[in-house]
Amino acid sequence: MRRVVITGAGTINALAEGVAATHRAMAEGRCGIGPLNFPDADRLNIRIGAQIRGFAPQDRFDLSKLALYDAFTQYALVSADEAMAQAGLEAAPDPARWGVILGTAGGGHTTANDAYRAVYADGKNRVHPFTVPKLMANAAPAHLSIRYGLQGPGFSVTTACASSNHAIGLAFQMVRAGLADGMLTGGSEAMLNFGGLKAWEGLRVMSPDGCRPFSADRNGMVQGEGAGVFVIETLEGALARGAAPLAEIAGFAMNSDAGDIVMPDRDSAARAIVGALADAEMAPEEVGYINAHGTGTAANDRIETAAIRQVFGARAEAVPVSATKSMHGHCIGGTGAVELLACLMALREGVLAPTLGYGTPDPECDLDYVPNTARRGVSVGAVLSNAFAFGGSNAVLALRAI
């Protein structure tokens, strides 16, 4: 089977635009969570989030095209531009053999929110003519395909909080199996609007005051937004065209709890981790860092800890595990892509992103969570990135340094 490497990465999220700036923010332990700012935010009970600030789409895109771009497409395009530039590509090298698979949960959620506001709240009888092509969940990969001439497979996958990991895993499998030679992959989410937050608020799982994964005083998740996009291709292809691999995607596993619609399941999560290790032919001893799903909810953090213990046994305490949602918020369908950046930082720079907000140890969360301060000078040869979504959809990626 063919080896698959990442040759470009790009992002925009609440911490920063750009991978280098995001890595700096993670290494400094900066928090992107603050007061939410959008129409009617004052009617929310939950008023904090990791919102992208200072992004001016009118300065970044042709106005004629911008009319077709929901924020989730804008974030994907900005991230893809950065990833393509790093990979040294202006367009797909072999259009029919290159494609794009992105994760998103809400798609063009803000476009839908605005249209509903117009017809229901404002009493208007028409919405913008591009409402459908803006809100459809495949808008982001479609615009990436148009921009870079990606004529191979192109689609979105949507598995709530695991969407990005599923997208990256599928893209990896397709390139490894020879169904494509290269892919743009990752995920994007822009659900920070009144309707989106109201829906989350209703489930009673949101924190009113901060994201504190694995800490005994955690009280829920904090929503974020943003995108991460990666260029992946065969190792052989990358070397042939003189591109520098950033890391190797070594394995992937996905499964389903087939249990509760919102409660995670330890055995199923553990099975996904074991599956990713097996797929990568990676011994547990190789793993030097785990990017946790780590949402900051009571249930996830306890069950994820138990799953890691189940897989790693006594060695679990020796594996640093961090939850970067404490910094960039829970970017839902885009979160796995943003979190993969922390994995690249661990593999390439030997810096482990911290879990912010960690205060009081929880007896049921008893691993090394890299609390509050990044760890530097660590030699990491292999990492895992966990995603355990609502719906019981689990997806775990395994990467190696190259």
Partner 1 sequence: MRSDVQNQVLSIIAREALRAPEDLRNEMTLDELGLDSLGLVEVIFAIEETFDVSVPFNANDPAAAQFDISSVGAIIAAVEKLISGDTPSAAVA
CA distance 213 to 296: 4
Tokens 């912010």 -> residue: 356
CB of 257 to partner 1, least distance (A): 15
For 102-153, the DSSP string reads EE-SSSSHHHHHHHHIIIIIS--S---TTHHHHHSTTHHHHHHHHHHT--S-
The answer to whether the CB of 188 falls within 8 A of the CB of 334 is yes
Shorter beta-carbon distance to partner 1: residue 89 or 197 = 197
Q: Point out which residues bind partner 1 (CB under 8 A).
A: 45, 202-208, 218-220, 260-263, 297-299
- Contact status, residue 186 vs residue 169, Cβ threshold 8 Å: no
- In the complex, minimum distance from the CB of residue 388 to partner 1, in angstroms, rounded to a whole number: 16
Task: Identify the bridge partners of residue 365 per DSSP, sorted by sequence position.
Answer: 362
Q: How far is the CB of 219 from partner 1 (least distance, A)?
A: 5
Q: How far is the CB of 205 from partner 1 (least distance, A)?
A: 5
Enumerate the β-bridge partners of residue 234: 4
Shortest distance, position 296 Cβ to partner 1, whole Å? 8
> Which residue numbers are catalytic?
161, 293, 330
The three-class DSSP label of residue 65 is helix
Q: For the residues of 209-270, what is the DSSP string, one character each?
A: S---TTBTT---B-BB-EEEEEEEEEHHHHHHTTPPP-EEEEEEEEEE--S-SSS--HHHHH
> How many angstroms separate the CA atoms of 211 and 213, rounded?
6
Question: d(Cα 112, Cα 116) in Å, to the nearest integer?
Answer: 6
